């Protein structure tokens, strides 16, 4: 009996540590989003320009990247949905990193940061985060909801043709693009970054697990 009690205590402690680790990772992710926003608000007010050649030869994706990119360029709002359900910290870090890169790109395009929504879904729970800028002061609204509530909000936002949504999950590097949504899978083999930016030709290029070499 004593041995079983000890085992039970150890299992509870391990579960608590895993939960704390995941909570800390999300907190770091939320703070990183705010940091990125701060950096781009005070360092530049213009979208960056650069030539991107690799995306033209992308093969590890399905859908029309250019059509999605055009929607993204004209978008007024964006949702980033990071699903870390059943992932341990060592794997969820790739999902968070991808989300942070996409959040930073929204600022690089000179978009309204208050129109950025970040959802982290884990099982039946969901954490919502959205930065806002008032008189050069950046704040970050964070709230805990059910996964169903977040999904309903995301689906409602997707009805707006001026809105784009990135869904990020852990998995073998691959992406699926439609007119205003992108499903991105990342794992430890993805060493580039999730981002989007404007090339010198004036077109938006999307760099994700799908189109990096």
Q: Give the pLDDT band of residue 5 (cuts 50, 70, 90).
A: very low
The per-residue pLDDT for 106 is: 82
Asked if 203 and 73 count as a contact pair (C-beta separation under 8 A), the reply is yes
Q: Give the pLDDT band of residue 166 (cuts 50, 70, 90).
A: very high
Question: In the predicted model, is pLDDT for residue 46 greater than 80?
Answer: no
Q: How far is CA 203 from the centre of its chain?
A: 22
In what helix (H) or strand (E) does residue 16 lie, and over which residues does it extend?
Answer: helix 2-43
Question: In the predicted model, is pLDDT for residue 182 greater than 70?
Answer: yes
The per-residue pLDDT for 49 is: 34
SS (H, E, C) 88-122: CHHHHHHHHHHHHHHHHHHHHCCCCHHHEEEEEEE
Rounded Cα gap, residues 98 and 3, in angstroms: 43
φ and ψ of 116, to 5 deg:
-105, 125
For 172, which DSSP code?
A: S
The average confidence (pLDDT) of the chain is 74
> Between residues 85 and 11, which one has the greater pLDDT?
85
Mean pLDDT in residue range 160-169: 95
Q: Give the pLDDT band of residue 26 (cuts 50, 70, 90).
A: low
Question: In the predicted model, is pLDDT for residue 42 greater than 70?
Answer: no
Least Cα distance to 202 among 73, 76, 78, 104 occurs for: 73
pLDDT cut 90: percent of the chain above it: 31
> Between residues 100 and 1, which one has the greater pLDDT?
100
The per-residue pLDDT for 43 is: 43
Question: In the predicted model, is pLDDT for residue 141 greater than 70?
Answer: yes
Look up residue 68 and give its two tokens.
């999605």
Asked if 176 and 63 count as a contact pair (C-beta separation under 8 A), the reply is yes
Rounded Cα gap, residues 163 and 72, in angstroms: 8
Question: In the predicted model, is pLDDT for residue 72 greater than 70?
Answer: yes
Which residues neighbour 58 within 8 Å (Cβ) at sequence distance 6 or greater?
Answer: 65, 210, 211
Q: What is the pTM of this model?
A: 0.73
Rounded Cα gap, residues 52 and 201, in angstroms: 10
> Between residues 183 and 113, which one has the greater pLDDT?
183
Look up residue 148 and give its two tokens.
């169903």
């Amino acid at each position: 009996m004593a041995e079983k009690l000890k085992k039970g205590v150890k299992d509870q402690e391990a579960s608590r540590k895993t939960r704390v680790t995941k909570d800390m990772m999300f907190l770091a992710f939320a703070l990183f989003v705010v940091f990125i926003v701060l950096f781009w608000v005070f360092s530049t007010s213009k979208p960056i320009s650069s030539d991107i050649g690799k995306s033209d030869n992308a093969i590890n994706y399905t859908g029309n990247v250019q059509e999605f990119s055009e929607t993204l360029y004209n978008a007024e709002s964006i949702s980033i949905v990071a699903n870390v359900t059943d992932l341990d910290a060592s794997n969820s870090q790739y999902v968070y990193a991808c989300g942070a890169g996409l959040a930073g790109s929204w600022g690089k395009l000179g978009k309204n940061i208050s129109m950025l929504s970040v959802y982290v879904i884990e099982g039946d729970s969901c954490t919502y985060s959205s930065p806002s800028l008032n008189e050069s002061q950046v704040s970050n609204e964070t709230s805990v909801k059910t996964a169903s509530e977040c999904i309903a909000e995301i689906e409602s936002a997707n009805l707006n043709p001026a809105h784009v949504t990135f869904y990020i999950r852990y998995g073998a590097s691959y992406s699926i693009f439609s007119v205003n949504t992108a499903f991105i899978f990342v794992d430890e083999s993805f060493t580039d970054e999730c981002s989007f930016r404007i090339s010198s030709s004036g077109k938006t290029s999307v760099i994700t697990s799908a189109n990096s070499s």
